[in-house]
Amino acid sequence: MNLLTDRLDLEKLPLLLQQLVLDVFSRLFHFLPESLLAYEPAVKSLVSIFLVIVPIIGVFCTLFAVVVMMERKGLGRMQNRLGPNRVGPFGMLQPAADGIKMLIKEDIVPANADHLVHFLAPCLLVLGSLISFSVIPFGKNLLPIDLECGLVFYFAGGAASELSIFMAGWSSHNKYSLLGAMRALAQLLSYEIPLILSTVPVVMLASSLEPSRIVAHQAGYTAWIIPHWFVCTPWGAIGFLLFFIASLAETNRSPFDLPEAESELIAGHLTEYSGFKYALFFMAEYLAMISISAIGITLFLGGWHAPCKFFEFIPSYFWFGGKLLFLLWMFIWIRATVPRLRIDQLMAFAWKFMIPLGLVNILVAAFWYKSLSWNFEGHDFLRWGIAVAVLGGCYCALARLLNEKSTASSKRTYRYAE
């Protein structure tokens, strides 16, 4: 009997050693700061802040350059052209060349502009984008700051974008900049409502505002291959769809890039910006795109969990990075394929379709949560059937209503002079 037990333990030994190595490596993120802080108790808070800020700035500013290069190459291929191919091997040094160009380019500020507010606007926008990374769990034990209200902190930090855009438009002392800023604010405020509504079902089902607990709630698999991610439920799929569409509008990406519609309002709130200040706006947009993709992964796509049980041996941060690159590629793909909307279509879609569907989705999630206590046979099929029927019927009704109103408003009567 002892011999059989020893044999079973030896068979499990490679798996146990592999899991031990992964756990030790993932805990290094917390062990290294704690060991360093033990020798510097007087400056503990400053060292801790430094150890969190430096990796965030280094990793995501580097990822910003990679995403810009990936987008320019991807759009070039989709449009049957090469894209950047002169600076460095395969054009890989083009982001560095663009950065140097922005640094040395002349910074022109209008004479009547508010110079202080004009300078602070892009700085505040970048700061708000970087702050949001501090509460996102990037892997097992890879969480910069663990806050019980981390989700509230994320959206509060992202709200700085509205203020900075208004600051940019007002301080430029240019009517085109001000009009562009006001139109951008109308878009951001309108689509922030469905963005928040799409996250409410997640908070209800996870019973927490803490991102790490939301990820932990999505652990586990059915039959080893079906993950317990929220996106694999009817309310989760609709919630993720609403979240992704709203994130396109919140990050000023096509087809919701009207705040920078060159053919209509020059360049919107960026009209009077040049040089490195313009580059900060450009960088903040991509950092916001990375950040909102990361929080979407946390809320709906299982965070750092593997897509099936068989791949759990791969480190968690690789799975999070793979999901992040996939969503970023979706942003690029949509930009290359979907045309820009009109401002009336954009606002109507938010208020007449996304917000009502988001409210119905909250009711369906509440029903789903209540139905988890059912214990009779066939309850899973009944729960899925009711949820799919309600959401599908609401989707079709709202889409039909929106299409009828848009068609009726687009009819024109042409009159000729006698």
Residues 207-232 have pLDDT tens digits of 999 999 999 999 988 888 889 999 99
Q: Is residue 136 part of a domain?
A: yes
What is the largest distance, in Å, between two alpha-carbon atoms of the chain?
Answer: 107
User: What are the residue ranges of helices labelled H in 110-269?
Assistant: 115-131, 150-158, 160-171, 175-206, 211-217, 234-250, 262-265
Segment of 137-151, 157-171, 199-213 carrying the highest mean pLDDT: 199-213
pLDDT value at position 379?
80
CB 309 within 8 A of CB 52: no
What mean pLDDT value characterizes the chain? 84
For the ranges 36-45, 117-126, 137-146, 246-255, the lowest mean pLDDT is seen at: 36-45
Residue 268, pLDDT above cutoff 90: no
Q: Is residue 68 part of a domain?
A: no
Count up the domains in the chain and report the number: 1
Segment of 256-260, 270-274, 283-287 carrying the highest mean pLDDT: 283-287
pLDDT-derived band of residue 52, with 50, 70 and 90 as boundaries? confident
Q: Name every residue whose Cβ is closer than 8 Å to that of residue 284 and which is 6 or more positions away in sequence.
A: 122, 125, 126, 128, 129, 161
Residue 14, pLDDT above cutoff 90: no
pTM passes above 0.75: yes
Mean pLDDT value across residues 92-104: 89
Q: Is residue 180 part of a domain?
A: yes
Q: Is residue 143 part of a domain?
A: yes
Q: Is residue 304 part of a domain?
A: yes
Question: What is the distance between the alpha carbons of residues 193 and 37, in angstroms, rounded to a whole number?
Answer: 41
Amino acid at 29: F
pLDDT value at position 6?
44
Residue 8, pLDDT above cutoff 80: no
Structure tokens belonging to residue 147: 């806050």
pLDDT value at position 394?
95
| Residue 209 belongs to domain spanning | 105-342
3 state DSSP class of 139: strand
CB 332 within 8 A of CB 293: no
pLDDT value at position 228?
92
pLDDT value at position 119?
93
pLDDT value at position 179?
85
Q: Is residue 138 part of a domain?
A: yes
Q: Is residue 58 part of a domain?
A: no
pLDDT-derived band of residue 374, with 50, 70 and 90 as boundaries? confident
Please tell me whether the peptide bond between 89 and the residue prior to it is cis, using omega within 30 degrees of 0. no
Mean pLDDT value across residues 42-55: 71
Q: Is residue 301 part of a domain?
A: yes
More confident position, 342 or 203: 203
